Amino acid sequence: MTMTSRAGASRPWPVVESVDGPDWTNGGAFFIRNKRQPDLYWSVSYAAQDVAIVVSETRRSKFRIWGSDIDHKDLDKVLIRSDRVTISPVSSEKSARVLYVHPSKAETNVVVLSGDKKEWRFGDLFGAFGTTWDDNETELVTYNEAEGEEWELC
């Protein structure tokens, strides 16, 4: 793109391309999918002993992300990676008890749903969650701060 000044001089200016996807705002509801394999989505599974978060090509669940230190009325506040957040499935909001994404109480790094609030760093969504990737038919979402995969909100 070339811009012309009032004096008639012109020079090329870089154009900032728009970014695809939703704004990451406080209280937003998002699908969460794998960035490298965009057909893999987080889904709530009620079939497991604990209500687990699984990765699925055929099912997906929407999750609401709230900034822990941000007023719930401030829906225009953009979340940044250092913000502390809670993550909950939208489907649990109408039940008697809201559930939150939480690490399993067992000695595993599997991610489940719990009535206890758990704060995460918003940036954890971009590299601290992974999957079991073993011979199981059900691939469970796991939490491993150092060896996760990259996920995106859509």
pLDDT value of position 141: 92
Domain 24-153 has CATH 1.10.599.10: no
pTM: predicted TM-score of the whole model, two decimal places: 0.82
Rounded to whole angstroms, the Cα distance separating 86 from 5 reads 48
Q: 8: pLDDT confidence band, cut at 50, 70 and 90?
A: low
Domain boundaries, the chain: 24-153
Pairing of strands 28-34, 151-153: antiparallel
**30-77 confidence digits (pLDDT tens):** 999 999 999 999 999 887 566 889 999 999 999 999 999 999 899 899
The shares of helix, strand and coil residues in the chain, as percent rounded to the nearest 5, are 5, 40, 55
